[in-house]
């Protein structure tokens, strides 16, 4: 697969000619044996059902765009692949860049029309915004703050699994912040809702952009204070304490969930701590 490690983000004018492009639909990204980037002019010759086009950065100095489609179509020699599969394949650089393109695509689909008057929106040149002239409104890509927290008790860590997880995998607790609450309040509330335990000594560990959906994950460590684990019905399939010496299958490497776990294990074992991927 083509590496995107030399790719940088930017807002580009779609009047530029040439360059590269990635293609996004509700089925994921178009790809072939060479990867996910295609010559832009070749894509435009394929008669794709394009909703809009957005400049998202540069690759080796060449402009890169994302073509947002109404729906997936067949292209000879190509297939569609979802964002989660890119994440599971382990090339985090590609996942991050496609995650950014996916968020821009989601924003573009959701703001084709003004939410106030229903009229068609227009892209603002040189700015990541959609504009309604009638209501003088601008709509920008949304980022939703969320928290993820690793709860520990000596050599034990509290991990849970959602019914949506890959079979057997456990992770730290997570949830979206509600209007009017701080992220720290969100940590306490989500932990109580999901497993019915109290925590103390909340420490901020770092953040990571996560496109499911368009969330900024704020990572924390917290110590167990009291209470017995009671999993939240319909949200948590199982939750339990695990010894750091006997852990279940964990989230993907380079995810913030895995980082929180690996840092704590390293501290307990006295081994070098990992660095949060940026």
Q: How far apart are CA 128 and CA 104, in angstroms?
A: 9
**With 70 as the cut, is the pLDDT of residue 1 above it?**
no
In the numeric block, the tokens 């927290």 are attached to 149
Return all residues near 267 (Cβ < 8 A) that are at least 6 apart: 273
pLDDT category at 200 given cuts 50, 70, 90 is very high
Which residue blocks in 139-253 are alpha helix, DSSP H?
183-195
Burial class (CB in 10 A: 0-12, 13-18, 19+), 2: middle
Go through the domains of the chain in sequence order and give each one's CATH number.
7-110 (3.90.79), 144-269 (3.90.79.10)
**Quick check: 32 and 78 in contact, CB under 8 A?**
yes
Nearest residue to 161 (alpha-carbon basis) of 254, 86, 229: 229
User: Can you give the pLDDT at residue 184?
Assistant: 96
**With 60 as the cut, is the pLDDT of residue 4 above it?**
no
User: Can you give the pLDDT at residue 14?
Assistant: 78
User: Can you give the pLDDT at residue 90?
Assistant: 61
Q: How far apart are CA 10 and CA 62, in angstroms?
A: 12
**With 50 as the cut, is the pLDDT of residue 28 above it?**
yes
Q: How far apart are CA 143 and CA 158, in angstroms?
A: 28
DSSP string, 205-217: EEEEEETTTTEEE
Higher-confidence position of 171 and 254:
171
Radius of gyration from C-alpha coordinates of the chain: 21
Which residue blocks in the chain are alpha helix, DSSP H?
40-44, 83-89, 92-110, 183-195, 256-269
Task: Please report, for the chain, how many H helices and E strands are present, in that order.
Answer: 5, 16
User: Can you give the pLDDT at residue 120?
Assistant: 96
Q: How far apart are CA 259 and CA 159, in angstroms?
A: 14
Mean pLDDT of the chain: 91
Span 104-117, average pLDDT: 94
Using DSSP, state whether 83 is helix, strand or coil: helix
User: Can you give the pLDDT at residue 125?
Assistant: 87
**With 60 as the cut, is the pLDDT of residue 2 above it?**
no
Task: Choose the weakest-confidence range: 59-73, 80-94, 109-123, 178-192.
Answer: 80-94
Q: How far apart are CA 238 and CA 250, in angstroms?
A: 14
Return all residues near 224 (Cβ < 8 A) that are at least 6 apart: 151, 152, 153, 158, 197, 198, 199, 200
Task: Choose the weakest-confidence range: 43-52, 81-90, 175-184, 206-215.
Answer: 81-90
**Quick check: 54 and 104 in contact, CB under 8 A?**
yes
The 10s digit of each residue's pLDDT in 82-98 is 988 887 776 777 888 89
pLDDT over 70, % of the chain = 97
User: Can you give the pLDDT at residue 80?
Assistant: 96
Q: The whole model's pTM is what? A: 0.84
Instruction: Return the structure tokens found at 258.
Output: 């895995």
């Amino acid at each position: 697969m083509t590496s995107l490690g030399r790719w940088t983000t930017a807002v580009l004018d779609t009047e530029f000619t040439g360059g590269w492009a990635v293609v996004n639909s509700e089925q994921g990204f178009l790809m072939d044996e060479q990867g996910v980037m295609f010559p832009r002019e070749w894509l435009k010759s394929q008669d794709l059902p394009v909703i809009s086009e957005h400049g998202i950065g540069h690759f080796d100095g060449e402009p890169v765009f994302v073509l947002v489609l109404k729906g997936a179509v067949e292209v000879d020699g190509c297939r569609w692949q979802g964002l989660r599969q890119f994440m599971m394949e382990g090339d985090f650089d590609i996942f991050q860049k496609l995650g950014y393109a996916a968020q821009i695509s989601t924003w573009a689909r959701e703001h084709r029309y003004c939410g106030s008057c229903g009229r068609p929106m227009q892209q603002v040149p040189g700015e990541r915004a959609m504009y309604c002239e009638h209501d003088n409104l601008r709509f920008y890509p949304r980022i939703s703050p969320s928290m993820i927290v690793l709860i520990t008790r000596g050599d034990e860590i509290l991990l849970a699994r959602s019914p949506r997880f890959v079979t057997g995998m456990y992770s730290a607790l997570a949830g979206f912040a509600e209007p009017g609450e701080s992220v720290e309040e969100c940590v306490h509330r989500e932990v109580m809702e999901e497993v019915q335990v109290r925590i103390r000594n909340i420490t901020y560990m770092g953040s990571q952009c996560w496109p499911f959906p368009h969330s900024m994950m704020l990572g924390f460590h917290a110590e167990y204070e009291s209470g017995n684990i009671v999993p939240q019905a319909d949200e948590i399939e199982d939750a339990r304490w695990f010894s750091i010496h006997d852990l279940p299958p964990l989230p993907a490497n380079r995810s913030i969930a895995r980082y929180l776990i690996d840092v704590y294990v390293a501290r307990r074992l006295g081994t070098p701590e990992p660095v949060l991927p940026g």
